[in-house]
Amino acid sequence: CSSSPFNDKTLISITPNTSHLNPNPLACRFHASQFGEQESNKYVEAYAVGRNIRMSANKARRVIDQIRGRKYDETLMVLELMPYRACEAILKIVFSAGANASNNLGLSKGSLVISKAEVNEGKTMKRVKPVARGRAIQIKKRTCHITITVKGLPSESVVEAKPA
């Protein structure tokens, strides 16, 4: 597990002595101090991804830029009050990331902070619209992928793994 691409996240291994036996890097989690990492990196992270959301990445980015670095509770309030259509989809993803942190990692939602929030372009659906003089123009219906990562301090009971 220690050679997985998720080394910067702290939800990777079951226990220190069996981490090399677990092929699935997301099946478990660890506390940073178990593997000799610095104590300053003792936050654990949980994330949620929304894929193929039917809106332009630029329109979603203007909302994501407002919530990056905020507390979880404050983020929910800000998203409910903003007038953009992207807020509804982002609110669902933030709820999901908070639920992942509380259910899978045992973190309290009051201590969570939005550590990473990113928007990437998804597939573009191309449609044809007939116009004057027998011509046709292409309409691009854009999609995006939104990733929200929350971090918080773990309780001491987070070290043991959940049964599968």
Does residue 162 belong to any structural domain of this protein?
A: no
List helix spans (H) across 8-145.
57-67, 72-81, 86-105
Structural domain for 12, as ranges: 1-42
CA 104 to CA 113: how far, in whole Å? 16
CATH number of the domain enclosing 132: 3.90.470.10
81 and 36 in a common domain: no
Does residue 116 belong to any structural domain of this protein?
A: yes
24 and 94 in a common domain: no
115 and 57 in a common domain: yes
83 and 9 in a common domain: no
Q: How many residues does the chain have?
A: 164
Q: Is the pLDDT of residue 162 over 80?
A: no
CA 97 to CA 32: how far, in whole Å? 20
87 and 61 in a common domain: yes
CA 74 to CA 106: how far, in whole Å? 20
- DSSP bridge pairs for 118: 147
Q: Into how many domains does the chain fold?
A: 2
50 and 85 in a common domain: yes
53 and 30 in a common domain: no
Query: How many DSSP H helices and E strands does the chain contain?
Result: 3, 3
Local confidence band at 42 (pLDDT 50, 70, 90 cut-offs): confident
66: left (phi over 0), alpha (psi -120 to 50) or beta: alpha
**Its pTM surpasses 0.75:** no
**In the predicted model, what is the mean pLDDT of residues 60-71?**
96
**In the predicted model, what is the mean pLDDT of residues 126-135?**
97
Percentage of the chain beyond pLDDT 90 is 65
* pLDDT at residue 160, rounded to an integer: 52
* pLDDT at residue 154, rounded to an integer: 78
**In the predicted model, what is the mean pLDDT of residues 78-95?**
96
Does residue 70 belong to any structural domain of this protein?
A: yes
- The answer to whether the beta carbons of residues 48 and 26 sit under 8 Å apart is no
